[in-house]
């Protein structure tokens, strides 16, 4: 699937997104009703637990009990396609390290959390999608002379410990001085304070941070992606029926305009046009 990447800063993106979803429900986990897979559970319980990020502006951001962002809107589309009303969704905050365990343990039914599909993860979970293809990029001060990863020699670059972007810097750009924190928000704070020269992760994530009000006019996304990161919908490894249903829902969303609306109501507020979803490249749900 080829989806247009972000090549510029989301200068106009606001934190106040048009559509919000309130977290709620109990913490009892996602299993219930004896249903097998997400299709059966959604049909019998009319409820879903969806794992999302809580600290990524424009994608998955929690303010109080409210979650907003593109991933949240994708979660709503999936729930509706499975016959679950918004009131039946429980949003559960996930971080990169616990996405696979949450799926395997049944703490969530789905994960929609800037979740890159790769071979290692496919060994333990299944993926629907991808619904977006990001690329690793760099966030730098607006007056920075860094023009791409080849200019990182001797520079302090921040990423999250154990992340794919951090590993790529270590292996492919070892002349850079990698600084690792446990969240990208801490990396961005360090960038604002002059402690590091750049932050690296997926371009769409960086653009969301750059668009935050407190950083307006301070940062820019370099716009030279040096990887491809296809974002998928994570679910249990053996739930091929659920995976196929997810892809059916995404295909319908691309056709009926709801995918575009999800973008327009969140990341599209920057003026960046909605990407095209190439449904021919969706996973085979093996």
pLDDT tens per residue, range 139-179: 999 999 999 999 999 999 999 987 889 999 999 999 999 99
- Per residue in 39-79, pLDDT (tens digit) is 999 999 999 999 999 989 999 999 999 999 999 999 999 99
Q: Which domains does the chain show, CATH number per domain? A: 21-134+229-277 (3.40.190.10), 136-221 (3.40.190.10)
Amino acid 130: pLDDT: 98
- Whole-angstrom Cα distance, residue 124 to residue 21? 29
Sequence-distant (6+) residues with CB within 8 A of 209 are 56, 57, 139, 184, 185, 188, 199, 215, 219
Amino acid 22: pLDDT: 42
Q: How many helices (H) and strands (E) does the chain have?
A: 9, 14
* Sign of the dihedral through C-alpha 173, 175, 176, 179: positive
Q: Say whether 218 sits in a helix, a strand or coil.
A: coil
At residue 208 the predicted structure's pLDDT band, cuts being 50, 70 and 90, is: confident
Model pTM above 0.85: no
Mean pLDDT: which of 92-101, 144-153, 266-275 is highest? 144-153
At residue 35 the predicted structure's pLDDT band, cuts being 50, 70 and 90, is: low
Average pLDDT over the chain, rounded to an integer: 88
Pairing relationship of beta strands 229-236 and 21-22 according to DSSP bridges: unpaired
Name the region of 41 (left: φ>0; alpha: ψ -120 to 50; beta: rest).
alpha
CA 184 to the chain's CA centroid:
13
């Amino acid at each position: 699937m080829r989806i247009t990447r972000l090549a510029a800063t989301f200068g106009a993106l606001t934190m106040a997104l048009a559509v919000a979803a309130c977290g709620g429900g109990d913490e009892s986990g996602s299993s219930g009703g004896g249903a097998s897979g997400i299709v059966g559970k959604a049909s019998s319980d009319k409820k879903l637990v969806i794992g999302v990020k809580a600290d990524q502006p424009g994608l998955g951001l929690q303010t109080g009990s409210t979650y907003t962002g593109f991933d949240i809107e994708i979660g709503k589309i999936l729930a509706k396609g499975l016959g679950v009303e918004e009131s039946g969704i429980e949003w559960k905050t996930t971080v990169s390290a616990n996405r696979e365990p949450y799926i395997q343990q049944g703490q969530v039914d789905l994960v929609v959390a800037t979740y890159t599909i790769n071979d290692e993860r496919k060994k333990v979970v299944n993926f629907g999608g991808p619904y977006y293809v990001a690329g690793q990029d760099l966030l730098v001060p607006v007056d920075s002379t860094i023009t791409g990863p080849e200019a990182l020699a001797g520079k302090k670059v921040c990423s999250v410990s154990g992340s794919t972007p951090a590993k790529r810097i270590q292996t492919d750009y070892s002349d850079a001085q990698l600084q690792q924190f446990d969240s990208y928000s801490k990396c961005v704070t360090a960038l604002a304070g002059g402690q590091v020269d750049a932050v690296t992760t997926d371009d769409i994530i960086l653009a969301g941070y750059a668009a935050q009000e407190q950083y307006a006019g301070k940062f820019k996304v370099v716009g030279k992606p040096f990887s491809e990161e296809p974002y998928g919908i994570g679910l249990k490894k053996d739930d091929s029926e659920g995976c196929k249903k997810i892809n059916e829902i995404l295909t319908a969303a691309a056709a009926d305009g709801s995918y575009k609306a999800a973008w327009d109501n969140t990341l599209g507020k920057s003026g960046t046009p909605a990407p095209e979803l190439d449904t021919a490249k969706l996973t085979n749900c093996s």
